[in-house]
Structure 1
Amino acid sequence: MCNLRTFEEVTAQLPLRDRKKAATRTALSDAAVRLARTVGVDAVTADAIAAEAGVSTRTFHNYFPSKEEAILYRSETEGTAWAAQLRARPVDEPIWDSLEQVVVGIVTDPARDLDETFAVMALVEDSPALLARKLEVHGRVSRILGEAIADRTGTDVDNDLYPNLLQMVAAAAAKAAIDLWMQGNTGHDTPAPLVAAAFTQLRAGIPQPVATVPAPRSVQS
């Protein structure tokens, strides 16, 4: 089974007509993100996105109902690609190992622009409209990942807590590692070591660290 790593690799498997449509969606989404980073989300319009992508406004509306959907498009499609990568892992591999390998592959992929990914995250946090749409996208992506985990673990995403809990915990661990790395004080070139450490702690049940107690100060008479 092939190891699908990115959205581009997923779309490469599609028929030519579908690949062209996916390319247009991606171009419009990239244009929307560029404009939002340059002038702010509120100042972006459908006309401006279409002009930036070199298509008509009508074409934009054929692909996206709003600028918010265009900006968040990659988040949803990449979630689908991540689920495909999880399904492509060896079926006898422990699920925690599979999830770790998926996340490490994401943060070390040379084709991925982490700065742009983080920029989109910042746009979302600063825009109530994007934040509301993100919740909808997150729900759809969580469902896709939950189904992939359920299939791997023989559970039911609609009735069992395990696949739903696992995808949420794994995503939270990955975000914590990436957020810490973004602060620039970890000494690592990529978030990969922090991701690996996060999953190690999850496997161990997140034991409480042993507190370092300062040595008592000597009292001189």
Structure 2
Amino acid sequence: MTAPTTEPAGEPGLRERKKAATRQALHEAAVRLALELGPDRLTVEAIADRTGVSRRTFSNYFANKEDALFHGDRTRTRLLIEKVRARPAAETPWAALSAAAADFYGQLGDLNPEWVTQTRLLRRHPSLAAAQAQTFAVMERELSAEVAARLGSAADPLGVRPKLLAAVFLASLRVSLTVWLEHPTESAYADVARRVLAEAGRGFE
């Protein structure tokens, strides 16, 4: 007989947690090595060696070094989308996006040092911009789908407004981080993001 599982319903099992830990370790190693070596000299082999896994194991988690570098962005976006999805249906899309961001960054507290490090790395190495743009394109599509579900398609069959809201929202978060990195001691990132989102959302309420 198979022993009954002791994992609570809805929570990941031991195997899933180990896989998530390995994926996170590869991502963190990629960021650290990109800082040490520069993105151009970063290799999949170096990331695998630093993490203590094989090249084949790396390939089970990420398609390439850029994929590993931007794993954190994708993870944060999924969490943010979950918060958008959980907002009350009566809220306007921009209100739901802004409230979800406030909740997300409020729970986050101080910005993850790895996130800040990655952002500063990107600012020093524009060659990574193309890979980041692909990552943000996926984020925009997912956020746009959430906004479209709130708006419905009758009034906007081409889906212009959902795409616009998603693009402006993500651009606002990037601007917020850029401003905060330039003045990190003057205010908390969450406060900067709240102000930028309020400015950007004037035409969407």
Same fold (TM over 0.5): yes
TM-score when normalising by structure 2: 0.80
Residues 1:111 and 1:70: Cα distance change in structure 2 (over 3 Å): farther
Q: Give the Cα separation in 2 of the matches to 1:24 and 1:185.
A: 31
1:163-204 deviation per Cα after TM superposition (whole angstroms, max 9, x unaligned): 10001112222222332222117731x122222222333343
Change in 2 beyond 3 A, CA 1:16/1:155: farther
The amino acid of 2:174's aligned partner reads: K
CA contact (8 A) 1:64 1:70 kept: yes
Matches within 5 A, 1:160-199: 160-184=159-183, 187-188=186-187, 190-199=188-197
Q: Partners of 1:158 and 1:23 in 2: how far apart?
A: 42
Structure 1's 110 and 81: CA in aligned 2 closer, same or farther, altered over 3 A?
A: closer
Q: Structure 1 residue 64: deviation in Å? A: 1.9
Q: Which has the larger radius of gyration?
A: 1
Q: How many pairs are equivalent?
A: 194
Moved more, 40-49 or 156-165: 156-165
TM-score, length basis structure 1: 0.75
Report Cα offsets for 1:100-137 as digits up to 9, x if no partner: 12222343334664442132123234445532222221
Q: Distance in 2 between matches of 1:58 and 1:153?
A: 44
Q: Which runs of 5+ in 2 are unaligned?
A: 1-9
Report the alpha carbon displacement of residue 15 of structure 1 after superposing the two structures with TM. Answer: 4.7
Post-superposition shift, 1:13?
Answer: 4.1
Q: How does 1:40-51 map to 2 (within 5 A)?
A: 40-51=38-49
Which ranges of structure 1 fall in alignment gaps of 5 or more residues?
1-11, 207-221
> In the TM superposition, what are the counterparts of 1:30-49 in structure 2 within 5 Å?
30-49=28-47
CA separation in 2, counterparts of 1:56 and 1:137? 25
**Letter of the aligned partner of 2:138 in structure 1?**
R
1:11-50 alpha-carbon deviations (Å, 9 max, x no partner) = x844543333232211111111111122222232222211
Return closer, same or farther for 1:88/1:164 CA change in 2, 3 Å cut-off. same
Q: Which has the higher helix share?
A: 2
SS of the residue corresponding to residue 88 of structure 2 reads coil
Give SS of 1:204's match.
helix
- Of 144, 147, 153, which aligns to 1:146? 144
Q: CA RMSD in A?
A: 2.7
Residues 92/16 of structure 1: CA separation in 2 closer, same or farther (3 Å cut) = farther
Structure 2 equivalent of residue 29 of structure 1: 27
The whole-number CA distance in structure 2 between the counterparts of 1:180 and 1:107 is: 16
Question: Contact between 1:31 and 1:53, CA under 8 Å: does it hold in 2?
Answer: yes
Asked if 2 retains the 8 angstrom alpha-carbon contact of 1:100 and 1:195, the reply is no
Return closer, same or farther for 1:200/1:67 CA change in 2, 3 Å cut-off.
closer
Structure 1 runs of 4+ aligned residues shifted over 6 Å read none
Relative distance call for 1:172 and 1:186 in structure 2 (3 A) is: farther
